[in-house]
Amino acid sequence: MTIAEIADMIKTKLYPQFDANEIRAITLQLLCHFWKIPDIDFYINKQKNLDEKIDEDFSKALKLLQQHTPIQYVLGFTEFYGLKFSVDKNVLIPRPETEELVNLIITENKDAKTIIDIGTGSGCIAVVLAKNIENAKIYALDISEKAIAKARQNAENNNVCIEFFCKDILSENNFIQTKFDCIVSNPPYVRECEKSEIKQNVLDFEPHSALFVPDDDALKFYKVIADFAISHLADNGKIYVEINENLAMETQNLFVQKGFKFIELHKDLNSKNRMLKIKRQ
Ligand code: GLN
């Protein structure tokens, strides 16, 4: 079968569930993954013949896609800030807006020596920081043992050394005595009342514990992050957090009430209020 014929076959299975652009992107990923073709063949060598034998895993992948499983979970990996990350249903799929958060941290903290990532999930933030901030010692924690196992695997695959803790930041904030130059977090921040705005494939497949917070205590993670920072942030240290765009004012106020005097709000690529940088002064 040629690349073009395989692409047509994929289209018959996935249209109209996915639109033409989505199918193109999915097809490219499936061809690269299962037939190991270089990207360029997909664009300019569509008549190239590929192995007839269709992998059992490939048919399984198409089935999972038809059942709305995100492609990242189907293939078992994704890319984040130019690195490859193994992902499964125990960890959130890294988002583009988190790449922006990480980019801001890297740009502003080339000399950081100690950094902690609270609620690390797949480890994407911690691993990218370890790769890009040369002399920093990176720590990361998560409440989920399965997430920590995934994050460890991702640190190993990307050849970085990170110290991991399986801890619940809501109940323990004194498990380490280090002072940090940066405290970083993308905690759960979607309110239950906002569930209706979340896409079905996110709701059905991604871990709710990494996404949702109760309507009446939506900032609970920011409260404990602020408390952790009060005792663990170095004098000139900075906090970087991803936030719910609908709670930007409330989240800023929380840090002000906790005694932090410098707060900077950043928008994401979609112009949504998405990140806070916080310092003591
Ligand atoms: N930005 C994610 C989403 O909209 C939420 C991430 C989070 O809760 N930290 O699905």
pLDDT tens string, the chain, 281 residues long: the values are: 999 999 999 999 999 999 999 999 999 999 999 999 999 999 999 999 998 777 789 999 999 999 999 999 999 999 999 999 999 999 999 999 999 999 999 999 999 999 999 999 999 999 999 999 999 999 999 999 999 999 999 999 999 999 999 999 999 999 999 999 999 999 999 999 999 999 999 999 999 999 999 999 999 999 999 999 999 999 999 999 999 999 999 999 999 999 999 999 999 999 999 999 999 99
pLDDT (0 to 100) of residue 36: 93
Report CA(98)–ligand 1 centroid distance (Å). Answer: 9
C-beta of 190 in contact with ligand 1 (< 6 A): yes
Q: Are 238 and 108 in contact (CB under 8 A)?
A: yes
Atom of ligand 1 nearest to the CA of 206: 10
Measured in whole angstroms, how far is the alpha carbon of residue 124 from the centre of its chain? Answer: 6
pLDDT (0 to 100) of residue 198: 95
Report CA(215)–ligand 1 centroid distance (Å). Answer: 15
Distance CA 120, CA 139 (A): 9
What are 3's two structure tokens?
């690349």
C-beta of 189 in contact with ligand 1 (< 6 A): yes
C-beta of 202 in contact with ligand 1 (< 6 A): yes
Among 216, 256, 263, which residue's Cα sits nearest to residue 241? 263
Check if CATH label 3.30.750.24 holds for domain 88-279. no
CB atoms within 10 A of CB 99: 19
